[in-house]
Structure 1
């Protein structure tokens, strides 16, 4: 009887969280659909656009799949739970990676890193993805219990912790660049990229932190309670970074055309700093 009560409480709680996450994602999709049409449709395919499509649409599938698993696995209606969760976890990992690609593109546009720093950042991101996938496949290779939980799944908090560290590293690099080189610059492009690069990255990192703590601390039936909310935060904020940047880039181009050559000159930065407008616009239209 106690087990049945626990099972029903878990199903109800997860159903509410998953339904709320999916509703929030779809609601944001409706709000920003016109921005998606304007700023992404008809443009050439590149790394940033591919990352956008993944982070925009994959979370819808992962939320629905995870809700179905949590409701049906206790009833034995999932033929191969390990493979099902492995597929879902892989999709979620690539969704997080796609969102981080967009964050990295914004940070690169703002900071103008050299090849060594960029390579080190990409290498760190790749290592985190490899660690996350390894944990997923190792954990799901073991049989699940009556509640659909896997032995050792709490170790997945390490992967989310590494993801949080990576996002905080990006934020720290953006802060360093802002206060060292762009302290006196207040152009819309600089302000936009700085705001997106700090506030949004901080929110995404906090979502990773909450999920990491939830996996490590919550009792096993509720281990992945914040799994879908984090995916929603990744999707919503990374998409808005792209929309806001492209909107600001177009506005800046219109200002230059309207007011003539006085505004068409690039902002004067110290000799050691690249022109941020060119870097941002080039990155935004990949």
Structure 2
């Protein structure tokens, strides 16, 4: 528990809520119900072990902050997440209701553990330790199967390492969600491209097979799309997008926008994790991703 004033409000509430939910307890020394609620909140902060941060604001001493939140009676509690108030309650509440309020909004222990594993996995990847990263991502998915971000990173890494069968097994629980999820849909586009190459009717294709068809007819979009999928399966990302742009420049709507969908999928696949930056700053975009986003916009909007 921490006492907050105007001087430290920005750091201890706004900035802190970008990392962990912050429960702001507006109270006053003369308030009887506050003396009942305060110890309960402190007890829960300890029990919840880092799932939220409790701060207290003396509404008599910090009238500017009380006015900013429109406090009309005390105790009043406001839950802050990502710099914004998301919910709150007035009056002393029994412990059961306080737990229900917190559990409604706070990440579960499993979600926190999965996020921690995912963060460690990204650190391992940054240092080049793919085995350690893969182990941590696998554990993150096992700990929190509903964490689609961790699953995306896990399946993507398996595919990057050429472990297609393992990737398909890991992807199977969410395959029904791929249609409505850009990130999961991107993985399916990638796996479909791998299957396209593996099951090519004339045997394993080569770049020359597609080049010959395109040379004979520059509007052979089937050949161009096949070449793009072949490049995608080989993780030749920018070359695949260049080929897809060739289709889009000639026919944006070909095959119900298949080229655009594949292009967007590749952008999702190659988008690196956003680096951690100081609160309030916008992380820089990867230059390759930024360049190819602009090229797509230029073609689609022309």
Task: Tell me which interval the TM-score lies in, with the shorter structure as reference length.
Answer: under 0.3
Q: Could you say which structure has the higher strand fraction?
A: 2
Q: RCO greater where, 1 or 2, for CA within 8 Å and sep 6 or more? A: 1
TM-score by length of 2: 0.25
Q: TM-score, normalised by structure 1?
A: 0.26
The structure that has the greater radius of gyration is 2
